[in-house]
Amino acid sequence: MIIPVTKNQHPKEKPQMPLGFGRYFTDHMFVAHFTRAKGWHDPKVVPYAPLPMDPAAAVFHYAQSMFEGLKAFRHKNNEIVIFRPEFNAQRMAKGALRLCMPEVPQELFLKGIETLVAVDSAWVPKEKGSSLYIRPTLIGSEAFLGVRPADEYTFFVILSPVAGYYSAGSKPVKIWVEKNQIRAARGGLGEVKAAANYVSALQAATLARPKGFDQVLWLDAVHKSYIEEVGTMNVFFVFKNEIVTPALQGTILPGGLRECCLELLKSWGKPVRERAITIEEVAKAHVQGELLEVFGTGTAAVISPVGELVYEDNAMKFKYDDNSISHQLYKEITDIQYGEKPDTRNWLRRLSFEKS
C-alpha cells in the first residue's frame, strides 16, 4: 500500500514542557475515505488542518463516531515504537460493526499510523513518561439527514505529544461511587469506543469534581451494584487472596492495558480472576481488612492507583507505595514501553522509516 505524503510547508514550533494531555498537535494528519461504491480509498498524509465537513454529515446528527487511543514512545537509542497497535486496530474494527460503520482494514490502520508517525517522528518526546498519543477516529461523513447508516465515512489519525499523565509516576486518585447515572447498559454501546459513551459519562464526573473527586466508579445499569469501570479506565481490586477485575459482558470497554495487566499478573503467579464483583463485596472486604488496593488501567495514565473510594458515606482509603501491585505493574509496563526491559511479549511495533 502506497500512502502519499504532502509535507507541511509551515511546520509549527514544538511545544515547551509541560505538555499536558491532548493540548498540542503535530504538523501532519492521516486521512482516508470510504464510499459504498469505492470502498476505502485515497489514503494520504497531509498537513494538519481543519476537515472540510458538510453540516449535514452523519457524525454531527446521529453520533456515528468512534475513536481509538494508543501511544508511540522514543527509546534512548532514538528508536520509535508503537505499543500494541494491532490490538487497537482489532478493537476499532469490531466496534465499527456495532455502529454500522465499515471496518478500517488492519493494514490501512497500521500503515496509516506508521507512515504518519514516521513523518512526524521529531514530535515523539524524549523524557520518560512522555509519549506521542495517537488518536485514530472514524466518522460518518455523508451529508444526509435520514436516520440510517451513512454511505460515506472518513478515517483520520491525529497525533499529540503528551506528558506522563502524572508527572511523578502514578498519583493516587479520589473516586466517587456513582449511584444515579450509568455509563452503559447491556445491549448498548459500552464495549465500543463510541464517542457517544464519553458524552454520556461527562456529567457524573463534572458533578463529582467540585466535591473533590477525580472521577467516578461506574456500576451496572440494572442493580446499581456490579462494578464496571472507573472513569475511562478498567478497574482492578487487590484482595488478600485474589486480584479481581470485572468480567467483560458487553458494558465494559475491553482495555488493552487491562489485557497487559492480566497477562503480567498471571505470569507473576498471582491469583487473578475476571468475575462479577459488587460494590457491597468491596465495602465489606474493606471493613474486614481484606481489600488492599484498587487501581484503574488505561492507555493515558497506564495505571492509576485509587487512594480513596467513597461509597455513600463510607470513605475507603488505600495506601500506595513501591511495594503496591499497582506500582509493580506500572513500572513493568513503562519499562517495556521505554525500552528499559526486553519486550518478551511482542508488545512493541518498531517503526521502519523506509519510504513507501
- Binding-site ranges for ligand PLP (CB under 6 A): 69, 229, 232-234, 253, 255-258, 297-300
C-alpha distances out from residue 286 to 8, 161, 239, 273, 304, Å: 56, 39, 9, 18, 19
Q: How far apart are CA 278 and CA 290, in angstroms?
A: 15
Choice between 152 and 191, CB closer to ligand PLP: 191
Residue 57 or 217 having the CB closest to ligand PLP = 217
With CA atoms as reference, report the closest residue to 7 among 118, 82, 110.
118
User: Considering beta carbons, is residue 208 or 257 the nearer one to ligand PLP?
Assistant: 257
> How far is it, in rounded angstroms, from Cα 134 to Cα 148?
30
* 85/298 with CB nearer ligand PLP: 298
Q: At its nearest, how many Å lie between ligand PLP and the CB of residue 297?
A: 6
Q: Which residue is nearest to ligand PLP (CB)?
A: 255
- Minimum distance of ligand PLP from residue 195's CB (angstroms): 11
Asked if 135 and 158 touch (Cβ cutoff 8 Å), the reply is yes
* DSSP characters over 170-191: ---EEEEE-SS--S--TTSSTT
Distance in Å, CB of 87 to ligand PLP, minimum: 7
CB 248 within 8 A of CB 91: no
Give the nearer residue to ligand PLP in terms of CB position, either 3 or 63: 63
Cβ of residue 321: shortest distance to ligand PLP, in angstroms? 24
Helix or strand run (H / E) with residue 331 = helix 325-337
Q: How far is Cα 77 from Cα 273, in angstroms, rounded to an integer?
A: 38
| Alpha carbon separation from 347 to 76, 87, 257, 317 (Å, rounded) | 18, 10, 11, 34
Taking the least distance from each CB to ligand PLP, the nearer of 198 and 353 is 198
Angle of helix 85-98 relative to helix 256-267, nearest 10 degrees? 130
CB of 348 to ligand PLP, least distance (A): 16
What's the full length of the chain, in residues? 356
Min CB(95)–ligand PLP separation in Å: 11
d(Cα 160, Cα 116) in Å, to the nearest integer? 12
Our CB check for ligand PLP shows the closer of 164 and 298 to be 298
Q: From the CB of 25, what's the least distance to ligand PLP, in Å? A: 19
